[in-house]
Amino acid sequence: MQPLAEVDITDLSHDGRGVARIQDKAVFVAGALPGERARIRIVRRHRSFDEAKVETLLTRSADRIEPRCPHFGSCGGCALQHLPADKQIAAKQRVLAENFERIGKVTPQHWLEPLSDAPWGYRRKGRLSVKWVEKKGKVLVGFREDDPRFVADLRVCYTLLPQVGERIEALAALIGGLEAKRDIAQIEIAADDHTVALVFRHLVPLQDGDRDRLIAFGREHGLAILLQPKGPDSVHMLDPPTIDLKFGIPAANVELAFRPLDFIQVNAGMNQRMIAQALALLDPQPQHRVLDLFCGLGNFTLPIARLAGAVTGVEGEAGLVARAADNARMNGIDNAAFHAADLSLDQRGAAWARADYDALLLDPPRSGAAAVLDYLPGKRTRRVVYVSCHPGSLARDAGLLVERHGFELLRAGVMDMFPHTAHVESIALFER
């Protein structure tokens, strides 16, 4: 066992851990806050840094609060419940600012006010791991621990929608009573404005008795139950016979239909605020042509179409592109066109990439949009709004937009899409 050490916590890392130093080597301490002194134990050693956990807090930060969740510290789903919500968002803004300065060598001319919404019960999409533990004689249902080999033994989750988060124990008992309890791998959660659906991934065919138990559970708790015996295309209804998942964007008079495994923004309230912020920054006008890259189901595309002359959405997953086009038709929108294209590859030969656009919206995955920025935005594009789920890739791409394409970084700010986690969602406006 590693010996104990006493350290002063001087900073908060990008993933929500306290930062200390032992003989000039960085140590990342789970659960520690700046200004605290702690007795710690090293749990993993690396060449340039070590990882540790707190054994004893010797002094406490004035900012420290009692976490709401009894599983905080063991479950890997949250990292910041020991900080008040306003301190969490301030820490995320510091992470974004440091990334802009260190990676992109840029600074926004103006910082936007952080966007936040309800801090609890916000997760409408998620994946719970399931594991039968022979030694314990029970099923574990939860997120992974900090060590991803293990599933956290949860009783409740306050970040999930209450229809699921308050039924973790009931789900574990349900699966523990199935013949296939050793062969349920995960539960995918997907909720729209009215329905909460659970997709059970099972590795063996289910017996009739197991199917009946799942149906009874769904009816008792008002949940739609789906099964996934193989890959994503194998998902199908168990009970009720059909569901029609949709969520609204009232400010744009838009409704988006989606399938249970489709990507949608996790936090419904924050999604509404984010769309409003993006539209305000993009400021699409009736004479404008807009390009929306990484468009998914049309979360931004269709609200933009209500204001712009024309909008083109491009997405790598063909199924999402088809559903985005269907959503446009369902909403009576005829000035939106959609294309399927792998945006990690050079697409400059595509007709949509050669067209002229007044404005560009980017909402890429964690890897960012560097490949796209080799050939876009075009000379006519005067405004870019960048929605990011990773501050490092945003900062890198901000440097490219400024140095290579002649834009200025006018505004930037963070959006608390995932309260109590270290996840940093942000938005930035570039103009030239």
Active site residues: 389
Pairing of strands 4-8, 37-45: antiparallel
Question: Taking a C-beta distance cutoff of 8 angstroms, is the pair 290, 381 a contact?
Answer: no
Identify the residue whose tokens are 């969602």.
425
**Separation of alpha carbons 180 and 203, rounded Å:** 8
In degrees rounded to 5, what are phi and psi of residue 143?
Answer: -80, 165
Question: Taking a C-beta distance cutoff of 8 angstroms, is the pair 29, 52 a contact?
Answer: yes
Q: In the 8-state DSSP scheme, what is residue 62?
A: T
**Separation of alpha carbons 34 and 65, rounded Å:** 13
> Both tokens of residue 376?
């876009």
Sign of CA dihedral 285, 288, 291, 296: positive
Nearest to 327 by CA among 306, 345, 343, 307: 306
**Separation of alpha carbons 409 and 364, rounded Å:** 18
Return the number of other C-beta atoms located less than 10 Å from residue 101's C-beta.
Answer: 12
Identify the residue whose tokens are 């940093």.
424
DSSP string, 141-152: EE-BBSSTTSB-
**Separation of alpha carbons 37 and 33, rounded Å:** 9
